[in-house]
Every structure is written in C-alpha cells, then in structure tokens.
Amino acid sequence: MAGQQWRVLGRPRGRPASITRAAIADAALAVGFEHLTMAAVADRLEVSHSALYRHVRNRHGLVMLAVDRALQRVSWPSPTGSWRADLEAQARALWGLLEGHPGLMREFLKLRGFPREIMLRFGSAVRQLVEHGFAPEEAFLAVDTVFDLTIDVFTRGEQLDAPARDEQLDAPARDKQPDASSVREATAGAWADAVGAELAPLMRRALAEPAALWFERKLALVLDGIAARHDRS
C-alpha cells in the first residue's frame, strides 16, 4: 500500500533523471524561442528545475545553447567549386534557419555573446573564399556583408509582418481591418506620401512583396558587387 501511495504522489525516488546539454538544447528548440522558459524546458524533459539549473545557469545560457544547436542542425551546403554559388547557398541556408525557428533572431540580438557554432560557420565561409583566391580581408568583408544582409532583411521582414498598433494605422487601413493589419499595410500610405508621387508605386509594391523576394534581389546585387570588386583585385 505504501508503495502504491508513493507512486501516485509523484516521481520515484532515487537518482535524478540524467540529462545532457544536447538534450536540453533539443528540448529548447522543441519548445520554441517564442515560448522559451526554463520551466517549459524542464517540463519538456520531465526533470526538476534544479536538475536543469545544474547544466544551464539562466535563460540567457539556455538561448545560447538553443541557437548553437539550431546552427548545428542546419544542412550547410557542400562546396560546389564556385565561390558565388557557395556563398549564395550559405546565405539561403541561414535564411532557412531563421524561417524555421520563429523568434530566434529576436533572441539572438539580445545575447551578450556569440554561440560557438556561428563563429565556426563564419570562419569556414571566409576560408572557402580564400581558397578561391580572395585576400583574407576581402573574404572576411564579403562573408560578413552577406551574413549581415541576410539577418537584416529577415529581421526587417519580421518587423513589417508584425501586427500594427492603432497609432500606426492610416485611416483607410484602420477602417478596413483595424485588428489584423500588419505594419507593412499600416505604413504603406505614409511611406508613399514621404517618397513622393514618382516613387510611391515602387514603395507600395516593395511593401506588398514578401521579404524573401527582396532578400533574393538584394543578395544578387551584393554578390554582383563582390564579384566586380574581386575581378578588379
């Protein structure tokens, strides 16, 4: 009878459940960055909060661990023999990572440090360009520019797709869909007015098109610039 009561009351006594940092990172990714808390990960792993704190000191450490694990999971492209194709593919892989983990970029920008995996990935990308005849400084700048572009366009797209607050809405948008309007819809009129009649159609089209489309256009432009500069060197 005592044994039955003991089982009903909770987890069997004895050694605590064994967990690893890899398991913690996987659990954090399963919870998702938008809902990430120490308690949620502990519950996912079915361990006590104190057991989790033995491996990760706080939420900041948990985010670092999760971002690092997400980067490890990416199927980074193999070299093709073309520096441009390789750098383009790596940028798209990074974009896919951000798309696959909502909230990752917002958490990453809050970090007071960098996960090791992103350092390794950056160094690998730079070395690939050096192997194709780029000077180290030139390769470093090229990779940094492409990675920054990817992050910036994705982050800006998230900002534009976010629900707009009432004070951001122009009158037509507010009257049409006051609750569902995105920032891109809410600010289209103000942007069009600000840039003037000649550029207004372009601005409205830019705000109507998805961020992924503009990422591809901007990436092509940047790669063209890198190629032109490399050819002159």
Question: What is the C-alpha separation between 163 and 148, in angstroms, rounded?
Answer: 25
Mean local confidence (pLDDT), 183-195: 90
Q: What is the pLDDT of residue 171?
A: 59
Look at phi and psi of residue 58 and say left if phi exceeds 0, alpha if psi is from -120 to 50, else beta.
beta
Residue 182, helix vs strand vs coil: strand
pLDDT of residue 163: 86
pLDDT band at 164 (very low <50, low <70, confident <90, very high): confident
* Count, residues in the chain: 233
Q: What is the pLDDT of residue 115?
A: 92
Who has greater pLDDT, 35 or 169?
Answer: 35
pLDDT band of residue 165 (cuts 50, 70, 90) is: confident
Domains defined for the chain, CATH in brackets: 1-73 (1.10.10.60), 79-161+196-233 (1.10.357.10)
pLDDT tens, position by position, 41-54 = 999 999 999 999 99
**Segment 183-211 mean pLDDT:** 93
Res. 93 pLDDT band, cuts 50 70 90: very high
